[in-house]
Amino acid sequence: MTAQPSGTTSAGVARVAHRAVGSAEAEAANRASWDADADDYHAEHGDFLGDADFVWCPEGLTEQAARLLEDVDGTDVLEIGCGSAPCARWLLTRGARVVGVDLSEGMLTHGVAANARTGLHPALLRANAERLPLADSGFDVACSAFGAVPFVPSLDAVFGEVHRVLRPGGRWVFAVTHPMRWIFPDDPGPAGLTVTQSYFDRTPYVEVDDADSASYVEYHRTLGDYIRALRAAGFTLDDLIEPEWPDGHTRVWGQWSPLRGKLFPGTAIFRCRRD
Ligand SMILES: C[S@@+](CC[C@H](N)C(=O)[O-])C[C@H]1O[C@@H](n2cnc3c(N)ncnc32)[C@H](O)[C@@H]1O
C-alpha cells in the first residue's frame, strides 16, 4: 500500500511487515531508501516532473493549471520534501523566494544539478520536516507534493512545524496518496481493484531487511485523521482536491494508472490556511 509514487527500491528489502515504527527508525530507513532510490526515481520520473515545473501528482495536475497557492509573486515559500526541487524552481520563476527542504542528500544532489542546468537556485536544505531548522513566522506559503507527510509517524510534529514557520494567514497545501488507496494492493492493474485490508488499520507499511530493521516506512491516516490533526495544529481546511484522471493520460506511475484513476481517486490535496 505504499504511497511512494516511484514504487519502493528493492535494495536490501527482505520482506514487508506491518508494525509500529517510531520517528528515529523511520528517519534512518527513509533517508537511506530515498538516497538509494534517487537515481532510479529521476531516471523514471524526471521527464514527467520537469526541471522547473510544479506537478502535484501522478494525475498530472500542475500548479500552473490549479493555482492552489494563488499568486506567489514576492512571497516567501517553503517546500517540504522537495526531492530535486522542480516545484521550488517553478515557484522561483513566478517571483517567489523559495527554500526547499528534504531528508535525502541523494535527492538534493539531483536538485543541485538541476539548479545548475536551469540557472534557477532555490535554497536547498537537508532536514527532517519534523524538526525544521528555520525561524518562526518566516514564510507566507508552505507546500508539499508527496514529500515528508506520508513518511513520518506523527502528523502533529510536521503540521506543528509548518504552523510555526508560517506567518498568520499563511497557506499550507500538501498532496498525499488518497487514503482510500490504502485498502487496495499496490497494483496498477485489475488486481488493484479488490479490497484486501481495512481502511481503519493504521499499522504502518514497513519493508524490513534481513536483520528485521526497517528499510522503508510509510504511514496511513484516514481523511478524518488528517482533518483532526490540521485543526489541532491550528489550520483551517479550505478545500480537499481529489484530482480526476484526465482523458488521454496514459502514464502509469507505480500503483497509479488510467484503469484505477477512472474509478477512484489516487491523490488527496489538502488546501489549508494557518489560523
Ligand atoms: C515522493 S518524493 C517527492 C519529491 C518531490 N516533491 C517530487 O514531486 O518529486 C518524497 C520526498 O520526501 C522526502 N522525505 C521523506 N521523509 C522526509 C522527512 N521526514 N523530512 C523531509 N523530507 C522527507 C524524500 O527524501 C523524498 O525526496
Give the pLDDT confidence score for residue 251 in this predicted structure: 96
Helix-strand-coil split of the chain, %, nearest 5: 35, 25, 45
Mutate which of 25, 31, 34 for ligand 1? The one with the most ligand atoms within 8 Å of its CB, which is: 34
Atom of ligand 1 nearest to the CA of 107: 27
Nearest Cα residue to atom 26 of ligand 1: 83
Residue 137 within any structural domain of the chain: yes
pLDDT computed for residue 10 by the predictor = 45
- Residue 5's pLDDT is 43
Distance between first and last Cα of the chain: 33
Protein residue with its CA nearest to atom 10 in ligand 1: 147
**Is residue 36 in some structural domain?**
yes
pTM for the model:
0.95
Which CATH number is 231's domain given?
3.40.50.150
Specify the pLDDT at position 1: 45
Examine residue 7 and state whether it is found in any structural domain, yes or no. Answer: no
Q: Is residue 10 part of a domain?
A: no
Pocket test for ligand 1, best of 82, 91, 205 (most atoms within 8 A of CB): 82
Residues in the chain: 275
Residue 4 lies in a domain: no
- Helix (H/G/I), strand (E/B), else coil: 81: coil
Nearest-atom number in ligand 1 for the CA of 5 is 1
Q: What is the pLDDT of residue 4?
A: 52
Q: Are 244 and 269 in contact (CB under 8 A)?
A: no
Q: Hey, whose CA ends up nearest to atom 23 of ligand 1?
A: 148
Low-confidence ranges of the chain (pLDDT < 70): 1-14
27 Cα–ligand 1 center, Å: 11
- Ligand 1, CB within 6 Å, residue ranges: 4-5, 30, 34, 49, 81-83, 101-104, 107, 128-130, 145-148, 151-152
Question: Which residue has a Cα nearest atom 14 of ligand 1?
Answer: 148
Query: For strand 139-145 and strand 235-241, is the pairing parallel, antiparallel, or unpaired?
Result: unpaired
* Cα-to-centroid distance, 244 and ligand 1 (Å): 23
Take residue 131 and report the three cell numbers written for it: 524538526
Domain assignment present for residue 191? The answer is yes
Q: Which atom of ligand 1 is nearest to the CA of 45?
A: 9
- The residue written with cell numbers 490549479 in the block is 66
Within a domain: 8: no
- Please check whether residue 3 lies inside any domain of the structure: no
Strand order in the sheet with 267-274: 123-126, 97-102, 76-80, 139-145, 166-177, 267-274, 235-241
Residue 81 CA, ligand 1 centroid: distance in Å: 4
Which residue reads 481517486 in cell numbers? 265
For residue 89, give its domain range. Answer: 15-274
Total domains present in the chain: 1
Q: Out of 35, 48, 61, 102, give the residue to mutate to test ligand 1, the one with the largest number of ligand atoms within 8 Å of its CB.
A: 102
